[in-house]
Amino acid sequence: MRSFGWSPLVLARIHNRKKKNNMQTRVEQCDVLIIGAGPAGSVAAALLLKQGRRVLVLEREQFPRFSIGESLLPQSMEYLQQAGMLQAVVEAGFQYKNGAAFVRGDRYTDFDFRDKHSPGWGTTYQVQRAQFDQVLANEAERQGAQVRYQHTVTAFDADAEKPRVAVRHTDGTEYIVEAGFVLDASGFGRVLSRLLQLETPSNFPVRGAIFTHIEDGIDVPGFDRNKIRITVHPEHCDVWYWLIPFAGGRCSIGVVAETAFLEQFKGSETERLQTLVMQDPASRALLENARWDTPARQIVGYSSNVKSLWGKGYALLGNAGEFLDPVFSSGVTIAVKSASLAAAALQRQFAGETVDWESEYAIPLKKGVDTFRTFVDSWYSGGFQKVIFYEKQQPEVRRMIAAILAGYAWDDSNPYVKESKRRLKTLEEICS
């Protein structure tokens, strides 16, 4: 059996199973193999199908499955529309979203994403990701992609003439896929990052999130279900809560803080989350009739970085490459933006053109990611919070900030995108 550069243990397992069953290891062919059926994978699949590619999507989990990252940004609607998936999303009946509200003590401010500097969508949805991701995966399948659930990529080799991956199904079946190109859209699974040892430490402190879904029972005059609500902890500016209203009277509720802070609180994840949420008087009043009917969960150390977003025969999409922080709900937007950029590069590559993946994919994607990073850094240092709650905001500057909060982090006509660090630092000083 030819060695495709995989570890001896992987090769031995495949060989022994083949020998035991007296059969040849199956080798399949496709134009593009996509690892992961989340938003990045499904949108990439749809865009590639429009180019006439044979697309195979391998998903480790069985859909529908729970996931967070439920508050979309309007910029993502452009890529759902490109992929021909917008109608299915609209018809799914998700909670309408037109902005973001911020609370700190008795201070409240909100941004309407329809009143923004950048052209484009100003509204979107707040979604239960189990349903949303299933809608997108079903659409990719309807458009012609082959989507396989409970299939795990166990090894990758880019040294062969075409990239090859080893795959294992939950029933024990193993096979090999040879593809023209591989896109890793595995999200927090970070399949290729782990297999190729691409991960590098994030420059963010190690933070964690405790979260759940509840029947919120909110009956407070003036509460706006059309906006995500971000609340700053009453004593710690680097600790914050999200509340994302869903259709049907439910919401996602979570708290984010450095792990050392979270570890102070004992009990089950639900008890810890309840204790933390009740430390904020406004949240306590808002959720006094809530029914905490779903056990809470925790994730720790979610921020990630990689040495490179691409290599011979592959590229990393969305969270599989880099994840910043959930505070501005940028995850899905970055994911579908990366899918669009990668699909455009592959269209040229399959047409026989030479594609520089660094300048045509990685650098353009990182441009928006770095804009978000500037604002995330400023949020946790407290600077951007001063900007958000500043009482004398200039309308045009406010529209520029609203555009970034709406996901338009690649729009160079916005000074806070083009020169995000310098501009934001100056604005912080003014608002101080």
| Segment 124-134, tens digit of pLDDT | 999 999 999 99
399 neighbors 416 (Cβ within 8 angstroms): no
Amino acid at 286: L
**What average pLDDT does the segment 304-311 reach?**
90
Q: What is the pLDDT of residue 214?
A: 98
Q: In angstroms, rounded to a whole number, what is the distance separating the alpha carbons of residues 368 and 337? A: 9
Q: Which two tokens stand for residue 4?
A: 């495709």
Inform me whether the pLDDT recorded for 79 exceeds 80.
yes
> What integer pLDDT is reported at residue 1 of this predicted model?
32
273-278: average pLDDT: 97
Taken as a whole, the chain contains a residue count of 432
Strand partners of residue 310? 315
Q: What is the DSSP pairing of strand 151-157 with strand 164-169? A: antiparallel
Q: How far apart are CA 51 and CA 350, in angstroms?
A: 10
Answer whether 0.85 is exceeded by the pTM: yes
Average pLDDT of the residues in 135-146 = 98
Based on its alpha-carbon atoms, the radius of gyration of the chain, rounded to whole angstroms, reads: 22
Q: What is the dihedral of CA 357, 362, 363, 367, to 10 degrees?
A: 160
User: Three-state DSSP class for 208?
Assistant: strand
Looking at per-residue pLDDT, the higher value among 325 and 236 belongs to: 236
The pLDDT of 62-68, averaged and rounded, is: 94
pLDDT at 25 over 70: yes
Q: Which residues contact 92 (CB under 8 A, 6 or more apart)?
A: 127, 131, 132, 135
CA distance 328 to 72: 10
pLDDT of residue 320: 86
pLDDT of residue 2: 37
Q: Considering the domain 207-300 in this protein, what is its CATH number?
A: 3.30.9.100
Query: What's at 407, amino acid-wise?
Result: G
| Residue with more model confidence, 16 or 307 | 307
Pinpoint the residues of the chain covered by CATH 3.30.9.100: 207-300
Place of tokens 């044979």: 54
Rounded average pLDDT over 167-182: 97
Q: What is the pLDDT of residue 160?
A: 81
| pLDDT given at position 301 | 76
Q: Which residue, 336, 320, 8, is CA-closest to 192?
A: 320
Where along the chain do the CATH 3.50.50.60 domains lie? 8-96+128-200+304-366
Mean pLDDT, residues 60-65? 96
Mean pLDDT of 290-310: 90
175 vs 4: which has the higher pLDDT? 175
Residue 263 to residues 174, 235, 292, 347, 381: CA-CA distances in angstroms? 41, 17, 21, 48, 21
Mean pLDDT, the chain, rounded, equals: 93
Instruction: Give CATH for domain 8-96+128-200+304-366.
Output: 3.50.50.60
Q: How large a percentage of the chain has pLDDT more than 90?
A: 87
Return the DSSP state at 141. Answer: H
Instruction: Using the predicted structure, report yes or no on whether residue 22 has a pLDDT greater than 70.
Output: no
